[in-house]
Amino acid sequence: MSEITYLEAIRDAIREVMKEDESVFLLGEDIGLYGGSFGLTNGLFAEFGSERVKDTPISESAIIGTAVGSAITGMRPILEIMFSDFTGCGWDQIMNQAAKIRYMFGGKAKVPMVLRTASGGGAGFGPHHSQSLEALFAHIPGLKVVMPSNPYDAKGLFISSVYDNNPVIFLEHKCLYKNKKYAQEVPDGIYTIPLGKGEVKRPGKDISIVASSYMVQKSLEAAEILQKDMQINCEVVDLRTIRPLDIDIILESVKKTGKLMCVEEACSFGSFMGEVITQVIEKGFDLLDAPPIRIAGKNCPVPYSFILEQEMLPSVEKIKDGILNMLGKN
């Protein structure tokens, strides 16, 4: 067991499944000799060769279409789309092909592919490279959507995603990739974390904070500050997978605290956390002592200006203010 970053944990997961299963291969732009746009696949080309680490043309539709076809015929492709924003170029292959084939063939055809891609803002990449699009993927029946918040979860969830017989969208937050602040001890070898199971990252009794990916880390930071300064005890629930959604863990938390705050980076209008709040109201209205609230990104494209980008995105301070407002302490 060694302490590694989020990026290194995903690389380890890829290496482990490639060593174990020869049907697993990689494809994407610049993932071979160059090592990927963020360096995540660095070293895999030298280890596994050009037959299993395939550089592709600059065509997202071709990359995703190739992955779908190879998955149907028994391979387990892992494809990289540099930025989640670019998945739009292959949206038909994702939405109308990968997501629907198993259903349309009565389960006789399987699509065991993992589409991994960098998501989220905060790194100064501008409006075409910084969006949080998880709600689009989660809306499509047949897709599974994974959003890990730390290295340990990232490795275990990734291995589970490769072994799953359905298409998985694996969203990796670019602000977590090389951030040593969030490095963790991660076991060597193969281990799995089941898809569709959230985890309470911080127990509490005053308010339930539900988040995923980078927003889990920001929520934990806000919770620690409020505990230290004001003895406010926040429970932080990490969804880990947004589809399947672990609604039970959310309802159990709300049953304890009576209050729900959802934190997400995506624009609030039509966002995934709106679905979470709706399900809590539908299935656990009597558990709530106050209306649920969202801390979310503002409804505009992600600005290139660093100052404007930080204003657009949720922050630890905004999460703290949201908690204090909900508890009537602001």
* Residues with catalytic roles: 129
Tell me the two tokens of residue 49. 């060769």
d(C-alpha 98, C-alpha 105), whole Å: 12
Q: Residue 287 corresponds to which amino acid?
A: L
Query: Which one-letter DSSP state was computed for residue 303?
Result: P
Tell me the two tokens of residue 327. 């508890």
Nearest to 112 by CA among 140, 79, 86, 155: 79
**Beta carbons within 10 angstroms of residue 179's beta carbon:** 16
Residue with tokens 């349309």: 104
Beta strands, E only, the chain: 2-4, 24-28, 53-55, 76-83, 114-119, 144-146, 168-173, 184-186, 199-202, 207-211, 234-238, 241-243, 260-267, 293-297
